[in-house]
Structure 1
Amino acid sequence: MQPEDRDGLTFTVTRRDPELVCPSEPTPREYKRLSDIDDQDSFRFQIPIMQFYPGGCLSLMPQRDHPALAIRDGLSKALVYYYPFAGRLREFHGRKLVVDCTAEGVLFIEADADVTLEQFGNPLRPLFPCFEELLFDVPGSAGILGCPLLLIQVTRLRCGGFIVATRLNHAMSDGLGLVQFLNAVGEMARGADAPSVLPVWHRELLEARKPPRVTCIHREYDEVPDTKGTSVALEDTTHRSFFFGSTEIAALRRSIPQHQQGCSTFEILTACLWRCRTIALAPDSTEEMRLICNVNCRNKFNPPLPKGFYGNALALPVAITTAGELSTSPLGYAVDLIKKAKDSVTEEYIRSVADLMVSVGRRHYAVVRTYIVSDMTRAGLGDIDFGWGKPKYSGPVRGGLRSSFYIPSKNGNGEDGILVPIRLPAAAMEQFDRELKAALRAYQSGDLNPIHKPKSSLSSL
């Protein structure tokens, strides 16, 4: 486990004016409804990701003096197949989101930076300095309605490497859908005639039933009052990335009994982080703590959702317990809660969510005292090739105050593992770091229940 703080690297980025890249051929002019999973409030936000490509790779397009030229060309061709991305979202009756397929295009920026890839550190870790320069927020572009659905900036570095930064309107796609689209862009940039995986819309497969029937309990959408107020501003927080390799995961596995050894790496790592984070934030022992994990539902259906489906196919099941129980119980207690939440997701569960959204107004999941974790380790972001090989880093650019991503990564010794960006109030981050180190040492030595009591309260997070 290796915490990483980013130092103040600064550099200059020279950008060309943003442009709209449109499909290279005529596309249908039509309305396409999003699903009732897509258009819930939980997904009405923008997702930024970054991919760092090293210099010195053999380009398949040696005549191109800037990778942006190849990527722009691939983007234009891919949009012929993924033409809804070139449209704009409209909101109809009942807050229903619909894509107006206008072929207006996606925002694209070509840039250069006077910095080398090596200056970002080795290994590469979020937070990345000057992020706002590497993914420029074009004024008026970040809304949900009536705005471009994608923004892509390609920044060439002084060493010959480059950075591809992408911002996605989450209502259009989940992480797997975005990877599918970017793979198509890469294939077309490398000269393919068509994407190897053709896109499938079929959002009607995740529409609410008529009449809607809420058949499952969905406590993730509880209306939870913020009784103590959110007292922490983002500028008062700090951000670190923690690496978990085989040694750390083995130590965590030593902390659970034999009958739980079949649990996944996600379940045991999430249990540890949830417990340590709760101890660091130090809420009252009776406060209700929540853990939401994104569950891919593509294979929960019979038959599975069709290959090529690029909408949101996510459920957000929640594990709930009190801060006191979570902080003082063995790690296996949290593992069981998380496993139970994940196992609750079935085809009927996701259909019940769609019905709930229609019934209660497309509600957002509860955020008070909630920690949400997204596993990106098998999403395929690290395989996207625009013609210069695979990226050295590909994934989210930061963790949120209430959220973390699991990113496949390597440490400085080349060991494979999981990188987890964490954002917390400064004092809580120090306590989190101490608690995590102490827990790993205790588990390594055979102490199965290291107990630490909180001293202060930041329980609104």
Structure 2
Amino acid sequence: MPAPPPKLELLDLHGLTVDFSPDHIAKTKADFFASTGQRCSAFDVCVAKTWQSRTRALRLAGGAFADGDSPVHVCFFANTRHLMLAGAGAGFYGNCFYPVTVTCGSREVAAGEVLDVVRAVRNAKAKLAGDVARWAVGGFAQDPYELRFTYDSLFVSDWTRLGFLEADYGWGPPAHVVPFSYHPFMAVAVIGAPPAPKVGARVMTMCVEEAHLPEFREQMNAFASPAGK
């Protein structure tokens, strides 16, 4: 018998949009390579910095996350076309993805360097092939990727390759594209791109309550500003 649907707690979430410069993203990628000998993507950097900024805001602005080391989660969806179809998917244009969840202590995410958070994201992605193989043969007694609709979780969606900014309906490409609606029980960040000729990444969020918004804005802007790091 399937489990009952999750109880959804409605959240009073507020929006924030921040542009990350290509220079800061490139510097973080270069620092990560120098530290680990491994490469990371702009997506990894954006996920890590947004998750860290949000976690710092939750801890510094008081409330349930101010003390102790509560677990925090970030969830995103990874492409598994190369794992699931294995060359047999010619002509298949539907979605083929698998949820990746990263869980760490709030103190670890908030206090560490952004490179440490990038490493946690990369480590979770590195397990993707093995996890998909286990899932395919029913190797999980309990679904470890059941979505958590709680304030300690952040959901990230990647819009960078959807082509929205290239769409022209007769009056030129759009200056800004955002989700039509956000669900008030899910803290969300959408990673896209700013309109041309600007380059870099645009992170559109609806993920913090009003009490945490000022600190979240400060943390995100610190990375986006010329002095950000």
| Aligned mates of 1:431, 1:304 — CA distance in 2 | 47
Asked if structure 1 preserves the Cα contact closer than 8 Å seen for 2:192 and 2:201, the reply is yes
What letter matches 1:279 in structure 2? R
Partner of 1:436: 220
Taking structure 1 as reference, are residues 384 and 340 closer, same or farther at Cα in structure 2, changes over 3 Å only? same
1:124-135 equivalences under 5 Å are none
- Please, what is the CA RMSD of the aligned residues? 3.7
- Cα pair 1:251 1:443 within 8 Å, conserved: no
Partners of 1:361 and 1:439 lie apart in 2 by: 35
Aligned residues: percent identity?
Answer: 19
Query: 1:417-454 CA deviation, whole Å, 9 max, x = no partner?
Result: 3222112211211110112233556964xxx7xxxxxx
Are 1:333 and 2:95 counterparts? no
- The residue that corresponds to 2:189 in the other structure is 404
Structure 1 residue runs without a partner (length 5+): 1-93, 96-224, 449-461
User: The residue matched to 1:367 in structure 2 has which SS?
Assistant: coil
Query: What is the aligned residue count?
Result: 214
Q: C-alpha displacement at 1:308, in angstroms?
A: 3.5
* C-alpha distance in structure 1 between counterparts of 2:165 and 2:75, whole Å: 25
CA gap 1:398/1:391 in 2 versus in 1, 3 angstroms:
farther
Which one has the largest radius of gyration?
1
| Secondary structure of the corresponding residue to residue 72 of structure 2 | strand
**Alignment match of 1:350 (pick from 113, 121, 132):** 132
How far did residue 295 of structure 1 move?
Answer: 0.3
Cα distance in structure 2, aligned partners of 1:361 and 1:259: 34
Distance 1:362 1:370, change over 3 A: closer
Contact 1:399 1:405 in 2 (8 A): no
Aligned to 1:244: 20
Residue 313, structure 1, aligned to residue 96, structure 2: yes
Between the aligned partners of 2:182 and 2:31, the Cα distance in structure 1 is: 26
Alignment partners' CA distance in 2, 1:342 and 1:384: 31
Aligned pairs for 1:380-459 (under 5 A) are 380-383=163-166, 388=170, 391-392=173-174, 393=176, 396-397=179-180, 401-410=186-195, 414-423=197-206, 424-439=208-223, 444=228
Residue by residue, what CA displacement relative to the aligned partner does 1:349-406 show, whole Å, maximum 9, x if unpaired?
A: 33533555997689832333211212121233445567x4874255633555422111
Cα distance per residue 1:64-100 (max 9 Å; x no partner): xxxxxxxxxxxxxxxxxxxxxxxxxxxxxx77xxxxx
Larger RCO: 1 or 2 (CA < 8 Å, sep 6+): 2
- Flag the 1:254–1:319 CA change in 2: closer, same or farther, 3 A: same
Deviation at 1:233, TM superposition (A): 3.2
**CA distance 1:304–1:288, shift in 2 (3 Å):** farther
Query: 1:271: how far off?
Result: 0.9
- State the one-letter code of the partner of 1:352: R
Q: Tell me, yes or no, if the aligned pair for 1:254 and 1:443 is still in contact at 8 Å.
A: no
Measured at CA, do residues 305 and 317 of structure 1 come closer, stay the same or move farther in structure 2, by a change above 3 Å?
Answer: farther
Any gaps of 5 or more consecutive residues in structure 2? 60-64
Please tell me whether the aligned partners of residues 22 and 201 of structure 2 are also in contact (alpha carbons under 8 angstroms).
no
Letter matched to residue 409 of structure 1: P
* Per-residue deviation, residues 297-324 of structure 1 (Å, max 9, x unmatched): 1123462452442443111112111001
8 A Cα contact 1:404 1:421, kept in partner: yes
Q: Could you say if the C-alpha distance between residues 279 and 358 of structure 1 is closer, same or farther in structure 2, counting changes exceeding 3 Å?
A: closer
TM-score by length of 2: 0.74
User: Is contact 1:399–1:421 with CA below 8 Å preserved after alignment?
Assistant: no
Q: Give 1:238 shift.
A: 1.7
Residue 263 (structure 1) aligned with residue 48 (structure 2): no
1:345 and 1:367, CA in 2 relative to 1: closer, same or farther beyond 3 A?
same
1:122-178 alpha-carbon deviations (Å, 9 max, x no partner): xxxxxxxxxxxxxxxxxxxxxxxxxxxxxxxxxxxxxxxxxxxxxxxxxxxxxxxxx
Q: How is 1:65-214 mapped onto 2 (pairs within 5 angstroms)? A: none
More helix by share: 2
